[in-house]
Structure 1
Amino acid sequence: MRAIQITEFGGPEVLRQVELPEPVAGPGQVLVRVDSAGVNYADTHTVENSYLSKTTLPLVPGGEVVGRTPDGRRVVALMDNGGYAQQAAVQEYLAHEVPDGVTDGQALALVVQGLTAWHLLRTSARIAGGESVVVHAAAGGTGSLAVQLAKAFGAGRVIATASSKEKRELALELGADVAVEVGAEGMKERLVEANGGKKPDIVLEMTGGPVFDASLAALAPFGRLVTYGMASRVPPTPVQAAALMGRSRAVVGFWLMHCLGRPGMYREPMAELLAMTAEGRLKPQVGGVYPLTEVARAHEDLRARRTYGKLILDVTV
């Protein structure tokens, strides 16, 4: 089968197409004939070995696939790695049937980014009705869904940040009340101004570095900053306990892998997200479809922030 494999760590240039034996489904697994694979920002960290979980070589990247099982079911599935290939062996309990009316791209947008956005708001931030929510990278895969879900979950005001005028306009179309420029310089003041002069209650942050610092400084008393990435690859200033106590603020970390295998944290929210999408109440954004042979370009575009929404690899061409 055709697959994308890395035999050394590095940037997009280490992603190479190879021929590999088809995988064999083990106990508790099901084989999926892959139609499309999702591309996540976390994949760029995996390829350079800078992710939360370290990887060993050789490796076929890719943590999500959509395709058909041998008995004909159309499923979307989460996996550790191995998604950038024509066949994938996935854990049966992580394979979720895709309802009619949901496209492959939409399903892939939900299995990592959608679940992440759901848990950022429900599990980590514990959003309450009327609270203000800042969504950084609001045109991205997770951000574009978090904007919509925050509104659906009763946020009083949703403040989006994005790097370009076009991305800010998209965030507004998806339901954000206001969209502001990204960038650490003056970020605290812009967020407070965008919230009508009040400090925001919740910030969803995945940039790290100075943007994290400014976002924490902007939080209202009893506010929660949920950190779920470090796209800038620059660590934030270490957080001191006294700084949290002095403003009754909280910093909460989130990694989707900790939800797997826990009752109520995978299949149930996934079913809710798929139903919302099938009914048109949630609109996952597909920002680009790349042939498997152009996976390096997908990674380059993602790292350069030239994309929005979910990126897809078409494994069939």
Structure 2
Amino acid sequence: MKAIQYRTFGGPEVLEYVDLPEPEPCPGEVLIETSAIGVNFPDIRERQGVYNRAETRVGGVTLPQVGGLQVVGRVLRTGTETDGHFTGRKVMALMPKGAYAQTTVARADLIVELDEDADDIAMASLPCQGVTAFLALQVCTVLRPGESVLVHGASGGVGSLAVQIARVLGAGTVIGTASTDARRAFVRSVGADHAIAYDSPHWPESVLSLTGGKGVDVILETIGGDVFDQNFTCLGMLGRCVVIGSTRGPGEPLAPRRLMARAQTLTGVYLPSFFQRPDLVQRGLRFLKDGVDNGLIRPSVGATLPLSRTADAHGMLERREAQGVIVLDPRY
């Protein structure tokens, strides 16, 4: 089978289009012939070796690695102790690695069956980003109907889905941040009431103005750096800040006592940690499937490239050239 593998950490150039043996499913796993593969920013972090640094305090990568976290495809066969019902079925899968290949294995408890007429490319754009957004809004905190939410980086994969999920959950006011006029227009097109620039020094004042001075109930934080500290200027009473990422770096440490004055909460979400709670991942996958089926969630695919051009996909994502998720076609 064809796959994308890297044997050293580095830039997109370390990604190699190679022939590898077809993997075998272990007990509790399924073997999937992939039809569409989603690309995620964590794939880039893994390739760069970021997760192998002690200060990141997350799971590392064992080289050589076939990266990738999400696929749509058809189950070819199952391992022992796996429900044979999945054989021949179209599925959407989330996995810790191995997606960048024409066949891959996934845990049976981290897949969800799709309808035969489901759009493979659209659905392959959802699992990692969508489940992360779902966990942030329904597990790490619970967004209640009528509450306000601020989504940073709302034009990205996680952010654009978080805006839509917040709408499905009945959010009262949804505010998204993005870096350019075009991206802010996109944020409004996926359901945000307002879109503002997070690189303006006065963006917290804009949030306060849009919420009548109260501040927002929930913030999904993806930027880091100085933006992380500014969040607490516009986080309301009993507000919850959920850290999803930090594209600008971690920012300054937060003094815990700062949370006390307005009874605020700071929490975080790291998707691989939830692989030990497959029931919660399943909730997220089914929520996404049902949302698309009912026309409530609209996947955003920024580009579709051949599997052989995965290095180009990584470059586009790093340069922020894609508005939406990049999906790979494993046939080429």
Q: Name the TM tier (shorter chain).
A: over 0.9
- Please name the residue that 2:3 is paired with: 3
- Please name the residue that 1:113 is paired with: 129
SS of the equivalent of 2:191 reads coil
Superposed displacement of residue 38, structure 1: 0.9
SS of the equivalent of 1:89 reads strand
Equivalent residue letter for 2:67 = P
- Please name the residue that 2:82 is paired with: none
SS of the equivalent of 1:120 reads helix
**Are 2:102 and 1:98 equivalent residues in the alignment?**
no
- Please name the residue that 1:165 is paired with: 181
Return the alpha-carbon distance in structure 1 between the equivalents of residues 30 and 116 of structure 2.
Answer: 21
Superposed displacement of residue 100, structure 1: 4.0
Return the alpha-carbon distance in structure 2 between the equivalents of residues 230 and 15 of structure 1.
Answer: 24
**CA deviations over 1:13-61 (Å, ceiling 9, x no partner):** 2111111111111222111111111100111111112133111111111
Return the alpha-carbon distance in structure 1 between the equivalents of residues 60 and 306 of structure 2.
Answer: 27
**CA deviations over 1:126-174 (Å, ceiling 9, x no partner):** 1122211001111111111111111121211000111121221111121
Alignment of 1:1-317 (within 5 A): 1-51=1-51, 52-70=58-76, 71-183=87-199, 185-232=201-248, 234-262=249-277, 264-317=279-332
**CA deviations over 1:181-211 (Å, ceiling 9, x no partner):** 1216223223223334331111101121112
SS of the equivalent of 1:212 reads helix
Return the alpha-carbon distance in structure 2 between the equivalents of residues 86 and 58 of structure 1.
Answer: 17
TM-score normalised by L of structure 1: 0.95
SS of the equivalent of 1:168 reads helix
Structure 1: gaps (5+ residues): none
Return the alpha-carbon distance in structure 2 between the equivalents of residues 280 and 169 of structure 1.
Answer: 21
Q: CA RMSD in A?
A: 1.6
Would the aligned equivalents of 1:142 and 1:309 in 2 still touch at CA under 8 Å? no
SS of the equivalent of 1:220 reads strand
Return the alpha-carbon distance in structure 2 between the equivalents of residues 134 and 147 of structure 1.
Answer: 9
Structure 2: gaps (5+ residues): 52-57, 77-86
TM-score normalised by L of structure 2: 0.90
Superposed displacement of residue 302, structure 1: 1.1
Would the aligned equivalents of 2:12 and 2:312 in 1 still touch at CA under 8 Å? yes
Return the alpha-carbon distance in structure 2 between the equivalents of residues 195 and 12 of structure 1.
Answer: 42
SS of the equivalent of 2:260 reads helix
SS of the equivalent of 1:201 reads strand
